[in-house]
Structure 1
Amino acid sequence: MEERNITKIPVRHELPRLSKVGVYCRVSTNQSEQLRSMSAQASHLTRTVLHSRGWILIDIYLDFHTGLNDNRPELQRLLKDCRSGNVDTILTKSVSRFGRNTAETIRLIRELNAI
């Protein structure tokens, strides 16, 4: 009987890296139209994350009443989660929902890029 040489090739069981996503939604008032907008934003963005391969939803951050003197507590919580490594991707309806003006948006993007 012929002897066979068998070489065992190790199998790598590395899981693909999942992007940890935070969904950020913001409205300016508690008027019913704005509340419907908040609901639509959160619903759409959550579905987008859940149907995207390689993404995992970490949390949803919702800010209401965001006047100039408001520090947007949910944005602050999101930034804290980014700094701690719990969130590495932010999904929002539009840039205008993320920052209230160009200067603030640029500042936030620079801060996130530095993380």
Structure 2
Amino acid sequence: MNKKITVIPARKSAQDSLVSDLKTRKRKVAAYARVSTDMDEQLNSYEAQISYYTKHIQENPKWEFVKVYTDEGISGLMTKKREGFQEMIADALAGKIDLILTKSVSRFARNTVDTLTHVRLLKDKGVEVYFEKEIT
């Protein structure tokens, strides 16, 4: 007696598909640059930050360049007054950014409460913040 056997391949679960997608898709990466004064020396730093992060993100094959968000000539004490910062946070919370790069904690925010509040808010949405100076 010959029995015909049919093999039914396993289906991928939704979780398997999600894990696979996360491993293969590019991370959406943005950077934040800020200088607190309009002095020539700081403006050179500002332009250098923008150039560095644009190139750094675009050269990484695992990253998709989103934008370099900027605030020029604005103090880091009050994040509410920094339009570039507010736009970046809104975009991150809207799912447009997976990772934010910035030169240092002091470029992100000088106020410790603002720093912690925003980093926690972003973390809760799955967005990482990387402070280069404090890591290297």
TM over 0.5: yes
Is contact 1:24–1:92 with CA below 8 Å preserved after alignment? yes
Is contact 2:31–2:67 with CA below 8 Å preserved after alignment? yes
Gaps of 5+ in 1: 1-13
Q: Deviations over 1:86-105 (max 9, x none)?
A: 11110111121111132221
Q: Aligned-pair distance for 1:82? A: 0.5
Q: What RMSD, in angstroms, separates the aligned Cα atoms of the two structures?
A: 1.7
Is 2:36 the partner of 1:28?
A: yes
Comparing both chains, which one has the higher relative contact order based on Cα–Cα distances under 8 Å and sequence gaps of 6 or more? 1
TM-score (norm 1): 0.80
- The structure where helix makes up a greater share of residues is 2
1:74 maps to a residue whose letter is: G
Cα distance in 2, alignment partners of residues 111 and 71 from structure 1: 18
SS in 2 for 1:108: helix
TM-score (norm 2): 0.69
Gaps of 5+ in 2: 1-20, 126-136
2:98 equivalent in structure 1: 88
SS in 1 for 2:65: strand
Is 2:86 the partner of 1:76?
A: yes
Is 2:111 the partner of 1:101?
A: yes
SS in 2 for 1:66: coil
Is contact 1:21–1:87 with CA below 8 Å preserved after alignment? yes
Equivalent position to 1:16, from 21, 24, 41: 24
Aligned identity (percent) is: 39
2:16 equivalent in structure 1: none
